[in-house]
Amino acid sequence: MFIQVNSIRRLFPILHQEVNGNPLIYFDNAATTQKPQAVLDTLTYYYEKDNSNIHRGAHTLADRATRQFEETRESIRSFIGARESAEIIFTRGTTESINLVAKTYGAKYLQKGDEILISTLEHHSNIVPWQMLCDQSGAILKIIPISDTGELVWEEFERLLNPKTKLVSIVHASNALGTINPVKKIIEAAHAVGAKVLLDGAQSTSHLDVDVQALDCDFLVFSAHKLYGPTGLGVLYGKRELLEAMPPFLGGGEMIREVTFEKTTYNTIPFKFEAGTPSIAEVIAFKPALDFITSTGKANIHRHENDLLQYAVELLHDVKGVIPVGTAAEKIAVFSFNIQSMHPFDVGQLLDAKGIAVRTGHHCTQPLMQRLGLEGTVRASFAVYNTRAEVEVFAQAVAKIASLKNK
């Protein structure tokens, strides 16, 4: 099945506008994806018709909101292949999901001398929480190196793994380079030494099939806004036995079973980790985003996006001054590059003048940029609604910018 991209584009109202006098070409999808009309309509409908707090109300609006809220939890369970919806925890984003694990599982189980492995490819959100945990617990953070192409050095990973390794927290697909890590092999190797594995799926869940039971990861984290859903909503998947053993993250309403001034007993999962009023509208509106992905088909989406990536690589391969960054054999649809003698921000500004939205800078991966000897890159990232024609306009604009600087 081939993507009917024109039909898909009609579902996304934001795409049909001009920016700086040119048709918008939105190539900043690794930062956030645009939202189909069904997501926008669901947000509006909730506030117009169903606005109510959930779980505790006895009236009709509360019942409707609760039912829709929990339907999304079940949709996520199905989307990632979890055993039960109780293993799905709602957070404010991937960052909060990682912090939740660090401050609950990590604080309870990691001790002085224990080791945590992450990779050079990680987003700051998968670095800083572990540094904080190490400062507090005396655990040691170790880094898996990468090659010049942006791929993990497997032999070094194997060398780092040992009985002291208690946790491996690894990105599935790099936001800065697009590298897809061999996470199934990583999980198997980590489990062989008794370590748990957290998988950062912020980028992979919108492009690749992710089945937590097939992978056997212990935790998976991702954000709704990178899957055509609303901002301010994240997901933490954890195996039941781990979630049940972890202490609560925040205290307050919903996460309690009974409160007295002498003692509080905590709720069951998933509610134990969902203190306070959640992002109800955003959770409910995430379901049509998941429905959109499912109905379009992950394999079809990946095939289309990979075609766009390969087309961009082909068009810019021989352009003087264009330097690709991150050339791993397995990638999601992320094309990072620099233009010789130009700052990435300046390239981004010149592309924006043509209505082309890209991301510039270090992409919250400063240690990765230091490893590559770069201040940053220009990053074009593609989604299901992008077209070959847009890639052609982008490539022509990049080539023209490069020619001005590299005559």
Query: Tens digit of pLDDT for each residue in 189-227?
Result: 999 999 999 999 999 999 999 999 999 999 999 999 999
Q: How many residues does the chain have?
A: 407
Q: Say how far apart CA 117 and CA 180 lie, in whole Å.
A: 17
Q: Are 89 and 248 in contact (CB under 8 A)?
A: no
Quick count: other Cβ atoms within 10 Å of Cβ 14? Answer: 13
Catalytic residue from among 40, 364, 369, 393: 364
Domains of the chain: 5-30+297-405 (3.90.1150.10), 40-294 (3.40.640.10)
Distances (CA, A) of 35 to 75, 89, 203: 18, 22, 16
pLDDT band of 405, cuts 50, 70, 90: low
Q: Say how far apart CA 130 and CA 367 lie, in whole Å.
A: 14
pLDDT at residue 256 is higher than 90: no
Give me 239's structure tokens. Answer: 């195996």
Q: pLDDT digit string (tens) for 48-58? A: 999 999 997 78
Q: Omega of the bond prior to 324 within 30 degrees of 0, cis?
A: no
Is 134 labeled as catalytic in the residue annotation? no
List 180's β-bridge partners, or say none.
173
Q: Say how far apart CA 11 and CA 310 lie, in whole Å.
A: 25
Residue with the larger pLDDT of the pair 12 and 2? 12
Least confident of 3-12, 52-61, 158-167, 239-248: 52-61
pLDDT band of 259, cuts 50, 70, 90: confident
pTM score, whole prediction: 0.96
Q: pLDDT digit string (tens) for 97-133? A: 999 999 999 999 999 999 999 999 999 999 999 999 9
List 235's β-bridge partners, or say none.
90, 222
What backbone phi and psi angles, to 5 degrees, belong to 355?
A: 85, 15
